[in-house]
Structure 1
Amino acid sequence: MSITDFLTDLLNPDLAFLPKALAIAVMSSIVCGVVGCYVVLRGMAFIGDAVAHAVFPGVAVAFVLQGSLVLGGAVAGVATALLIAVFSQNRRVKEDSIIGVFLVGAFALGIVIISQAPGYAGSLQQFLFGSITGIPDRDLYVVGGAGLVILGLVLALHKEFVAVCLDREMSRAMGLSVFWLDIVLYVLVTLAVVISLQTIGNILVLALLITPAAAARLLTDRLGLMMLLAPLIGGASAVVGLYLSWSYDTPVGGTIVLVATVVFLAAWLFAPRHGLLTRRWGRPGVPGAGDDANSSPCPALSPTT
């Protein structure tokens, strides 16, 4: 299918679900790209996975009651994020163990709940792998509104998030409430995951949160530029992925994630300073040519733009 044919289909009133799917995919990709920067820099991929599974029981309850899937998932995800943050204060059990407990527990609860609904198998497949055909108009506005709220909070608390990322103990000494900043970040991750579920699905949504930000991390050492590149990569992956999915009749969520993965692999190989081939073929003695970009949660990162 040519790009012209794809644009024609977008304007076809009989295919009204297609522009809605594109809008939600792009909006959620942009939001996930921004929030994902903090997730990547703090090494929080596991909490992102936990939240992606934690929203499932809320989505299942909303489906059974025929309510808003976005609202149901947000409530369940926020509740689980708060529980993880509270239980993690007990240093007897490490945070990753707490996350693991709530991850599988929440997902199991969602399986039990949705199994009580008619059309169980089809509904479960839609939640796990996404669907572009069943997006109601109200979700378009919910996703747009939630995205603006998330980006607004990120803008308001950006300096605090960066401080906690760079040095948690120093942040405490400066008087910052690290616990509550963690809570807010967990909630933002939850909301970013929830608004992405319907196009990407529960299984693949973590990739939308992590992959564009990880690719951007390879391309720059400046946080400001990274937070511009990540949503651009995510949004472009959504557009290209939906185009390829529509052209070749492939699952939209999987195709979007594969496009983002290709971008990450290209960055891993050809990034100007940190790409594998760039470092191998680069001139000897170039500063940073052999630096290990993963030696700390925020290595060699400049907060400036």
Structure 2
Amino acid sequence: MEWFFTPFGVSFVERALWGGLLVSGICALAGTWVVLRGMAFLGDAMSHGMLPGVAVASLLGGNLFLGALTSAAAMAAGVTALSRSPRLSQDTGIGLLFVGMLALGVIVVSRSQSFAVDLTAFLFGDVLAVRPRDLTVLAAALAVSGVVAVVGHRGFVALAFDPRKAQTLGLRPRLAHALLLGLLTLAITASFHVVGTLLVFGLLIAPPAAVILWARSVPAVMAGAALIGALSTVTGLLISWHLGTAAGATIAATAVALFFLSALAARLRDRRSRSTAPTSGPAPRMEPEHAS
């Protein structure tokens, strides 16, 4: 078992492990709702919308996390404002903000002659460079995400399965949507420096998507997604150590590979269920929880 324990005996790999585990928990809480509500494009747009804030913070010598959080929050506020227009679809508003924020970020980056390395880290992450204070930030982000997930759970469920019911029950769907955007913003900004913006969806989408094929409740999806994210982190770091591959990309690729394995197993299960329909029950299906 030396091949397993030796990498994690190195301090920076150990920090990377803890960072990946914390990110897995954060992404499980937000990613479950991203998958349930079909918000992948919004998440992608918001992750790239962080570039102006990160670029300005880097050029001014400020905190990259706060720069990313500010930029992503502005993106979320813009999406919320544009979604209220009856003449524009939400996808149109997201697309416009996506292009605008990305263009602004590239303009800021173009003003610097030595931004290439930082931009690469922004896009692809550097999980092996996680510092102790980064772990503190991630732990705080996980705690806040947990509080938001618990407080907004009833509204999120009604919003995901029946928005009209959310309005009828007085759950304030607009507030629930804003809280959900905040949860997604926090997950993306907390994760980008670990796996990068282009790879953040490896942990944000793949684990919940893998579990949703089997689970019957939202909490089960979140717990399963956190476990798959943790498995992806451990496996990805081991592969990266022994094969010399990029750690963040390997973690994300492992998460996506686990999703395809889950999808294949679910397909085989469904085929078996159809062939034995008279004697077997239906395949597991996500059920909307009681939101009242």
Q: TM > 0.5 between the two?
A: yes
2:29 touches 2:145 (CA, 8 Å); kept in 1? no
- Separation in 1 of the partners of 2:32 and 2:218? 8
- Separation in 1 of the partners of 2:3 and 2:262? 31
| SS in structure 2 at match of 1:219 | coil
Aligned equivalent of 1:188:
183
Superposed counterparts of 1:57-206, under 5 Å = 57-206=52-201
- Separation in 1 of the partners of 2:15 and 2:182? 25
Which deviates the most, 134-143 or 72-81? 134-143
Select which of 267, 270, 276 maps to 2:267.
Answer: 276
Question: 1:153-180 CA deviation, whole Å, 9 max, x = no partner?
Answer: 1112212211211211111111121112
2:7 touches 2:241 (CA, 8 Å); kept in 1? no
| SS in structure 2 at match of 1:195 | helix
Count of residues in Structure 1 that have an aligned counterpart in Structure 2: 287
- Does residue 1:244 correspond to 2:239, yes or no? yes
After superposition, the Cα gap between the structure-2 partners of 1:4 and 1:119, relative to the gap in structure 1 and judged at 3 Å, is farther
Question: 1:202-221 CA deviation, whole Å, 9 max, x = no partner?
Answer: 11112321110000101212
Select which of 250, 274, 282 maps to 1:288.
Answer: 282
Tell me the amino acid that sits aligned with residue 113 of structure 1: V
1:34 touches 1:213 (CA, 8 Å); kept in 2? no
- Does residue 1:301 correspond to 2:287, yes or no? yes
Report how far residue 263 of structure 1 moved.
1.2
**Which residues of structure 1 form unaligned runs of 5+?**
294-299
- Separation in 2 of the partners of 1:220 and 1:127? 34
By percentage of residues, which structure has more helix?
2
| SS in structure 2 at match of 1:203 | coil
| SS in structure 2 at match of 1:27 | helix
Report how far residue 144 of structure 1 moved.
1.3
Aligned CA RMSD, in angstroms, stands at 1.9
Report how far residue 234 of structure 1 moved.
1.0
Question: 1:37-80 CA deviation, whole Å, 9 max, x = no partner?
Answer: 11111111111111111112111112112222111111110111
TM-score, normalisation: structure 2: 0.92
1:70 touches 1:142 (CA, 8 Å); kept in 2? no
Aligned equivalent of 1:8:
6
Tell me the amino acid that sits aligned with residue 20 of structure 2: A
